[in-house]
Chains A and B, each alone.
Chain A
Amino acid sequence: MVTNSPELKELEQRTYKATHSDGVIDVFVGVSMVVIGVTWIVIPNVLSGVTAGVAIAISPILAWRRRFIEARTGYVMFTEPRRLWERRIYTTAAVLFGGFMLLARPLGSLQPEDIDWIMGPDSLVVWLVAAVLLLLSVLTKLTRVLVYSLVLTAAGAVPFMIATEAFGWPLLISGAVIVAVGSALIRRFVIRHSQIGTQ
């Protein structure tokens, strides 16, 4: 992608991965899913507003994450092809999230008997998020995102297993798992880069 030898390409991938193994985005995504899940269970009427609030929070969180990482790992600017690739990933995620928002409302208004072949409209919404994560795991080659997708897929069946109509549970459960993984990554990242400073 960036260089002309496999060793240098591997070095570039390693340095890129080292700068992106902090877990901040994982915790943000996990907390967002927990918040949306709890809202879905407790006050579903304000679900759209809460989801929009999460979308608005993305930009300041990314800016804070950049400062958090640079204070520990130092500043680096990757090459133009790598930055282009990164922009494509963010654009894809934004488009998928927008598509999910557009689909969620009509899907949520479907009657369970209309699509009972996949357990119901709410589980379909959860599995759409799982599909988005699956696609992102392929694009980013991050194994943990694939695990998140599988956890969400499995959690989509939980409301049927415990016979509840509160469909926020899959998001709540998956979000808690993602927060736990993200917190462990942040802890490891902070320990590994405990020397803060610039020169």
Chain B
Amino acid sequence: MNRHQPRTKQPPAEIDRLVHEPARLIIMATLYVVDEADFVYLAQQTGLTAGNMNSHMARLVDGEYVAVEKTFAANRPRTIYRLTEKGRTAIQEYGQQVGNLLAPIGTPNPSNTRT
């Protein structure tokens, strides 16, 4: 084995790439800690533009990680998102996979991180 390759319980290839992308990870993490949220709320929390949000949400909806509901509030369209059971499981498993992957590195020593 290459000495630069860390020993991991799960190979990196098994990491869920749908969750792994940073913007989608933040979206899913936000939806994980609330019951439901609309497009505007998620865009503000993640700092993504409307175009980026649309494309990421479409992928999460296609992957059945996020359920979407289109309603009206004060005569204006409102798109509400919530994490599905599949999405909830996916982010929990992702957390475990990343934890396993980084476990050999361990927690950083604060004295080593000083510059």
For chain A, residues 1 to 34, give those with C-beta under 8 angstroms from any C-beta of chain B.
Answer: 2-3, 5, 8-9, 11-12, 15, 18
Which residue on chain A has the smallest CB distance to residue B95?
A5
CB contact between A11 and one of B30, B79, B95 (< 8 Å): that residue: B30
CB <8 Å contact, A77 and B33:
no
Known contacts A3-B32, A11-B33, A15-B30; A76/B41 CB under 8 A: yes
Q: Chain B interface: which size bin?
A: 20 to 34
B35 touches A75 (CB 8 A): no
Q: Give A73 to B34 CA distance when docked, in angstroms.
A: 14
Taking the nearest CB of chain B, how far is it from the CB of A32, in angstroms?
27
Q: Contact at A8–B32, with CB atoms within 8 Å? A: yes
Binds B, one of A111-119, A145-153, A173-181, A191-199: A191-199
Q: Count of chain A residues with Cβ under 8 Å from any Cβ of B?
A: 23
Max chain B Cβ within 10 angstroms of own Cβ: one of A2, A12, A74: A74
8 Å CB contact of B33 from A74, A75, A79, A199: A79
With A198-B73, A199-B50, A199-B77: A73-B41 Cβ-Cβ less than 8 Å: yes
Is B29 part of the contact surface with A, judged by Cβ < 8 Å?
A: yes
Task: Give the secondary structure class of A's interface.
Answer: mixed
CB of B91 to closest CB in A, whole Å: 9
Bound Cα distance from A18 to B73, whole angstroms: 21
Taking Cβ atoms with an 8 Å cutoff, the residues of A that contact B are 2-3, 5, 8-9, 11-12, 15, 18, 67, 70, 73-80, 193, 197-199
Decide if A76 touches B36 in the complex (CB within 8 Å): yes
Interface string of B27-66 (1 = CB under 8 A from A): 0011011111111111111000010000000000000000
